[in-house]
Amino acid sequence: MEVPKKLVTTVSGCADDALAGLVACNPELRLLQGHRVVLRNDLAAVRGRVAVLSGGGSGHEPAHAGYVGKGMLTGVVAGAVFASPSVGSVLTAIRAVTQAGAAGVLLIVKNYTGDRLNFGMALERARAEGTDVRMVVVGDDCAFAKPGKAGRRGVCGTVLVHKVAGALAEAGASLDEIEKKVTAATKVMGTLGLSLSPCSIPGSKPSFQLAADEMELGLGIHGEAGVHRMKVLPADKAVETMLKHMTDPSNASHLSLTPGSSVVLVVNNLGGLSCLELGIVAGAAVRCLESRGICIARALVGSFMTALEMAGVSLTLMLVDEELLRLIDAKTTAMAWPNLLAGPATTRRKEIPAPAEGPKKPQDEAGSGPGTARVQRVLERVCSTLLDMRDRLNELDRGAGDGDCGHTHARAAQAIREWMRARPPPAVPAQLLSGLADVVLEQMGGSSGVLYGLFLTAAARSLSGRSDFPAWADAMDAGIEAMQRYGGAAPGDRTMLDSLFAAAQALRSLRSPGANLLQVLAAAAQSAEAAAEATRHMEAAAGRASYVRSSRLEQPDPGAVAVAAVLRAVLEGLRDTPQ
């Protein structure tokens, strides 16, 4: 097992460097000289108020220093990665706020042995110096059905405790009142984590391994073992599993939820989950809670207390009344607290009505007859060709793109087939191309869908009221001009435009009196195929391939190959169709 890569300056200095970076970017924060302690810049504002201090090991960013600010924490004490801070640094932080005139100090500590010991020892020494210091230990983990002697671990719910304590202190509450209300808040919340991957301390190997098809329920924020390994579940099922475990009465660590309860929900990224996945989990959590008759008074979604790069999520629920909710909503300048609007979370929000469509496009009145039948046969040949080429186009695209060119064109082909089944395609050229533009824009996806849509829309406009041969040459030029204007590519850039431009040169023969359509189209298809093959030797200057070294582009451009195949299919479809 290899040591994972980390973007750090030095392994030994990573915790200090992280704090220094945070302070450098936030004018509200200051470092305490000689210690891993971050304090509010305006310590004078603490005079006469209770100071709220917290902290713990580094590696949980933005916890804890991200929550220092007016209306939240007065300061934090950080240890090395996943290590408790020293007694001396905790004591120094207490002295700093006491000397600034604080009317007592509240320590908020996660329930880990090292944190309890070091913060507790500092508390005793500060009391010996005459300071009124209290400590609230947070244990919100719902993982273990029968917690051992150490009790429940302190995890992401600690952030909500920070917020409640900080809001009370900012409002001028006494140390007795804050201690009482914060202690009560710790008893009405629960948290549970779910991980897809381990985490690793800088310079070290991962603390555990999970198989590619496994997830683990109930891990701690340092990579400590959870309660159950299982096969990876879809997000909605995973969320149901988490909430069921958190609220199971047979679990001694459970949180009691009854229909009608009001909660604050925290959907916390454990460090390595994508924002896309986090949004999916958040939606699933809201739906699941709503189905139980729970009111989600507020929902916080983001990275609040992480475990380095662990790909996972935790859910925190805090039962709230009006007072607790006011404290959660109270203003704070802490940079890691989300700027939330006060309002509930729900999946039942009324959608904004879509705007009315513009004037309907005129449709071909006939919708049948030889013209329509000819169009259907040609389009069917095009669709069959693209579907047959799916794998080849994907393979060509893997060298320079994301390997989905074949899937994208196949989607377009399937959409065109469905469009034809729903209604015979119009035989009028402008209406036909306009209708095809709508289909590819709505169904094809990717930049290819937009480029084809631009081409067809501009070509349709050029064909309006015309159907003679020169009109088709003009339409080809108009479509290419639109693609160049918005796409930015030019002939020679190794894109689909190379095939289109070559075909357009040949189609100009349609402007000559007595031109033979099939002969001209055959020349256009042959030119497009030659141009597509020539892209094999071109330097990509546009599109995704432009970011890839030319030495790796050993195949022709898939977009150019697709265009050439479409032109060949149109030719063959027309040849097979009675004129």
The 10 Å Cβ neighbour count of residue 225 is 12
DSSP 46: G
Structure tokens at 566: 């479409």
In angstroms, the CA 449 to CA 438 distance is: 10
Q: Return d(Cα 248, Cα 143) in angstroms, integer.
A: 11
Q: How far is CA 490 from CA 367, 382, 480, 502, 543, in A?
A: 38, 25, 10, 12, 11
Q: Comparing C-alpha atoms, which of 236, 226, 215 is closest to residue 192?
A: 226
Place of tokens 């000819």: 374
Q: How far apart are CA 321 and CA 317, in angstroms?
A: 13
| CB-based burial label for 391 (10 Å; 0-12, 13-18, 19+) | exposed
Q: What is the largest CA-CA distance in the chain?
A: 107
Alpha helices by DSSP H, 399-428: 405-422
Amino acid present at 540: A
Asked whether residue 71 is marked as a ligand-binding residue, the answer is: no
Is 60 annotated as ligand-binding?
yes
Backbone angles phi and psi of 168, in degrees to 5: -65, -45
Is 491 within 8 Å of 498 (Cβ atoms)?
Answer: yes
Chain centroid to Cα 465, Å, comes to 47
Residue 390 in tokens: 């799916």
Q: State the catalytic residues.
A: 222
Q: Which residues, other chains included, contact 156 with Cβ-Cβ below 8 Å and sequence gap of 6+?
A: 140, 191, 221, 266, 268, 304, 305, 314, 316
The DSSP bridge partners found for residue 53 are 75, 107
**Cα(498)–Cα(37) distance, integer angstroms:** 61
Residue 479 is labelled as binding a ligand? no
Residue with tokens 């600034």: 100
H-type alpha helices, 495-550: 496-507, 517-534
Return the H-helix or E-strand segment holding 559: helix 558-575
Identify whether the C-beta of residue 202 lies closer than 8 Å to the C-beta of residue 6: yes
Non-local (6+) Cβ contacts of 217 within 8 A are 143, 192, 193, 194, 226, 227, 228, 229, 230, 241, 242, 245
Length of the chain: 579
Per the annotation, does 57 bind a ligand?
yes
For the chain, the straight-line distance linking the first and the last C-alpha, in angstroms and rounded, comes to 69
Distance CA(217)–CA(433), nearest Å, equals: 54
Of 396, 377, 469, the closest CA to residue 429 belongs to 469
State the binding site for substrate: 57-60, 110, 115
